[in-house]
Amino acid sequence: MINELYQEIILDHSKRPRNFGRLEGANRHALGHNPLCGDRCALFLKERDGRIEEIRFEGSGCAISTSSASLMTEALKGKTVAEAEQLLKRFLDLVTKDQPLTEDLGKLAVFAGVREFPARVKCATLAWHTLRAALRDAGGVVSTE
């Protein structure tokens, strides 16, 4: 049952991605590419005083990469950069470790099942690797390969 709910969330966010489109006045930006699947992600952030005031993304890719980016932007809006870094680490643990902690991850926990499919892990983490590039050096380009 829980898997059906998870699939519904992923489908919903891939069909109707939230926070999709360019962000005017963004002061952090990065591009991500997952050549294995062909996913692309352009991430735009407006950060002020260490807080993410606005976050949007553009791109094209599979359902997993699009829904992951959509759910990520929902989770990060209003968070501090430190909280975003923490969530990034938690998410990478979620999709790569055998026994990750899922509490406090909210809807992001839907990606827990991805770790059984190594090729899909790159789809699920693309937006997050792009986030890391955007937070650490604005204008970076990252690739999952």
65 binds Zn ion (CB under 5 A): yes
Q: For Zn ion, give the closer residue by CB, 62 or 81.
A: 62
Contact (Cβ atoms closer than 8 angstroms) between residue 101 and residue 112:
no
Residue 39 is a binding residue for Zn ion (CB under 5 A): yes
Query: Token pair of 74, please?
Result: 């929902």
Stretch of 37-45, 47-55, 70-78, 98-106 lying at the interface with Zn ion (CB under 5 A)? 37-45
Residue 63 lies near Zn ion (rule: CB under 5 A):
no
For position 123 contacting Zn ion by CB under 5 A, the verdict is: yes
DSSP category for residue 107: G
Q: Using CA atoms, how far apart are residues 7 and 49, in angstroms rounded to an integer?
A: 37
Closest CA to 61 of 125, 114, 5: 125
* Shortest distance in whole angstroms from residue 101 CB to Zn ion: 25
Q: Is 102 helix (H, G, I), strand (E, B) or coil?
A: coil
Contacts to Zn ion by CB under 5 A: 37, 39, 62, 65, 123
